[in-house]
Amino acid sequence: MKKMSIRARVVAGTVAAAAISAGTFGAVSASASAPAAESRAAVKADTHNRNLQQTTHLTIDAATKAAQASLDAAERAGQRVTVAVVDRNGNTIVTLRGDGAGPQSYESAEKKAFTAVSWNAPTSELVKRLESAPNLKDIPGTLFLGGGVPVQAKGAPIAGIGIAGAPSGAQDEEFAKAGIAALSR
């Protein structure tokens, strides 16, 4: 476990880059190398006890910091949104229902975050996958609308941030990225 810790870092740098070049954001793309990356989960066997494994998660402090940063970014842009952070195990760990956010935004934010962490890709990318597999969107808990982005540790998904309430998914995604960027500060 030790080495992992040393090298583990939230991929905020990558994300900051992604803000510039959205096409390369996240560990998974349509390229041939994607599947391998996708299956590299933040899970590690415990060599001292064959019954145990370790998994990596955001702390609640980090998740709250990211969510707050997303909400701040939305407020600066004059948008009223809800923010959700969902763990890789599927549990919601933070929600912030912004002042004046529409009633549809709460579940939307959770589902976008869930979707992003499930496939380790921004939901704006995942929408494109529906062209070849349209029924992916029938999987319970998912929502294929821009605004969800994965949080990664060493390329593996450890959480998703989902934003809902802005007029476009692109804007929602911008705020989600602002949340991830806060993790490297």
Q: 24 vs 103, which CB is nearer to its own copies? A: 103
Closest separation in Å from C-beta 17 to its own copies: 18
The answer to whether 170 and 124 have CB atoms below 8 angstroms apart is yes
Pick the closer one to its own copies by CB: 17 or 130: 130
Quote the least distance from Cβ 131 to its own copies, whole Å: 12
Enumerate residues 6+ apart whose C-beta is below 8 A from 59: none
In the complex, the smallest distance separating the C-beta of residue 128 from its own copies, rounded to whole angstroms, is 12
Q: Which is nearer to its own copies, 25 or 56 (CB)?
A: 56
Shortest CA distance to 26 belongs to which of 162, 124, 135, 164?
124
Cα 12 from Cα 70, distance rounded (Å) = 14
Task: Name the residue nearer to its own copies (CB basis): 93 or 178.
Answer: 93
Which single residue is written with the structure tokens 């890709």? 121
Task: Return the number of the residue (24 or 53) whose C-beta is nearest its own copies.
Answer: 53
Q: How far is the CB of 45 from its own copies (least distance, A)?
A: 7
Q: What are phi and psi of 145, to 5 degrees?
A: -135, 140
Angle of helix 169-182 relative to helix 12-20, nearest 10 degrees, comes to: 150
- CB 118 → its own copies: shortest distance, Å? 4
Beta carbon of residue 166, minimum distance to its own copies (angstroms, whole number): 7
85: number of Cβ within 10 Å: 29
Sign of the alpha-carbon torsion through 113, 114, 115, 121:
positive
Query: Closest CB to its own copies among 21 and 135?
Result: 135
- Which helix (H) or strand (E) element contains residue 153? strand 148-153
